[in-house]
């Protein structure tokens, strides 16, 4: 130390006790009153109360069932289809279409109802590889037709048959008379049943009837 100078001590900037202390482990009190049901997994223990007899809120109705609806027409505006009005107007990104299109299973069911499972629903066979099959089908069709109930004249014009055609219900008319009536009324001129626009050729049936008369 240099003579004539005073001693200077080192002063700490903190007045706290800076003595070193060893860190101690934190202690936790375990709840011994709630024993664990499974010692392998402590998270399986639930101490929440079970309110099984809790009666709050409205009671659900017994006749309510959940229904799942699948939308197969995602490109059609549902507001316009149901109500005929859309708030977006022409700016709507979906198609404004109110037509009710039948699905495939509906068309198949109607076709099975009309044809009744028959492979040959009538009509003139233009060509076929198996000629015997064509003759058998035409013969069976003529045999099934009620030839004895056919009148001698057309039921619409009261004249002789000209290019005779038969309806699904078995009544025979002239082709021109049948088509003319179909444009105004699609029903049969004799019994009033729906023809669905099906008119089969009945020339063989008329010839057979004329042969029986002769």
Q: How far is CA 163 from the centre of its chain?
A: 44
Asked if pLDDT for residue 143 goes beyond 50, the answer is no
Asked if pLDDT for residue 151 goes beyond 80, the answer is no
Within 10 angstroms of residue 92's Cβ, the number of other Cβ atoms is 13
User: Judging by DSSP bridges, how do beta strands 172-174 and 164-166 pair with one another?
Assistant: antiparallel
In-domain check, residue 175: yes
In-domain check, residue 54: no
What tokens appear for 94 in the block? Answer: 């979906």
Residue-wise pLDDT for 173-183, tens only, equals 888 888 888 88
Mean model confidence pLDDT for the chain: 72
Q: How many domains, the chain? A: 1
Give the C-alpha separation, 155 to 189, whole Å.
Answer: 7
In-domain check, residue 209: yes
Read off the CATH number of the domain in which 159 is found. 3.30.40.10
Number of helices and strands in the chain (H, E)? 5, 3
Average pLDDT, integer, range 121-148: 50
In-domain check, residue 185: yes
In-domain check, residue 2: no
Name which residue leads in pLDDT, 147 or 175.
Answer: 175
pLDDT at 69: 82
First to last CA, the chain: 162
In-domain check, residue 162: yes
In-domain check, residue 179: yes
pLDDT at 15: 56
pLDDT at 94: 94
Give the C-alpha separation, 164 to 187, whole Å.
Answer: 17
Cβ 166 vs Cβ 175: under 8 Å? no
Residue-wise pLDDT for 188-200, tens only, equals 888 888 888 888 8
Range of the domain at 195: 131-213
């Amino acid at each position: 130390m240099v003579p004539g100078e005073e001693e200077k001590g080192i002063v700490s900037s903190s007045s706290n006790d800076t003595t070193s202390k060893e860190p101690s482990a934190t202690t936790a009190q375990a709840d011994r009153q709630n024993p664990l049901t499974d010692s392998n997994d402590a998270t399986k223990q639930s101490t929440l109360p079970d309110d099984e007899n809790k009666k709050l809120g409205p009671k659900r109705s017994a006749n309510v069932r959940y229904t799942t609806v699948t939308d197969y027409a995602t490109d059609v505006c549902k507001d316009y289809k149901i109500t005929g009005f859309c708030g977006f107007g022409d700016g709507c990104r979906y198609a404004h279409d109110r037509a009710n299109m039948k699905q495939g299973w509906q068309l198949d069911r109607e076709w099975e109802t009309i044809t009744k499972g028959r492979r040959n629903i009538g009509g003139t066979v233009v060509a076929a590889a198996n000629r015997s099959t064509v003759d058998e089908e035409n013969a069976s069709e003529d045999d099934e037709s009620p030839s004895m109930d056919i009148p001698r004249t057309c039921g619409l014009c009261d004249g002789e048959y000209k290019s005779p055609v038969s309806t699904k219900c078995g009544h025979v008319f002239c082709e021109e008379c049948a088509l003319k009536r179909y444009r105004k009324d699609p029903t049969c001129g004799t019994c009033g049943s729906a023809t669905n626009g099906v008119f089969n050729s009945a020339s063989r049936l008329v010839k057979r009837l004329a042969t029986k008369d002769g």
